[in-house]
Amino acid sequence: MAHGPQHELVSDEARTLAHKAKQGSAWPISLDAWAVAIALALTALVWVGWIKRIPW
């Protein structure tokens, strides 16, 4: 029979991520959608010339 690893330890970060996943996001818009929106907004600013040059 399969038995769980309940008595073993797990890292705090993994616990936090799992807890957040269970609770759901506090943000009304997903991280994905935010990232795409910001990237497209920056692209538009470069295209219209408001951002002239990004150095590296």
Partner 1 sequence: MATSVAIPAPFSDNLFKRLARLIPGLFLLIAVGYAGKFVEQSIARYGKAYHLTLPNIEYVLWAILIGLVISNTVGIPAAFRPGLATYEFWLKAGIVLLGSRFILGDVLKLGGVSLVLVVIEISISLLFMTALGRAFGLTPKLTSLLAIGSSICGVSAIIAAEGAIEADEEDTSYAIAAVLALGAVALFTFPLIGHWLGMSDTSYGLWAGLGVDNTAEATAAGALYSDAAGKVAVLAKTARNAMIGFVVLGYAIYWARKQGTAGVGNKAAFLWRKFPKFVLGFLLISALATAKFFDGGQLTSLANLSRWAFLLTFAGVGLRTNIGEMRKQGLRPFLVGAIGEVAVALLTLGLVLGAARFLH
User: Which residues make up the interface to partner 1 (CB under 8 A)?
Assistant: 1-6, 8-15, 17-19, 21-22, 24, 26-28, 30-36, 38-40, 42-43, 46-47, 51-56
CB of 40 to partner 1, least distance (A): 6
By three-state DSSP, how is residue 25 classified? coil
CB of 25 to partner 1, least distance (A): 10
Q: Residues in the chain, how many?
A: 56
CB 46 within 8 A of CB 40: no
CB of 13 to partner 1, least distance (A): 6
CB 30 within 8 A of CB 38: no
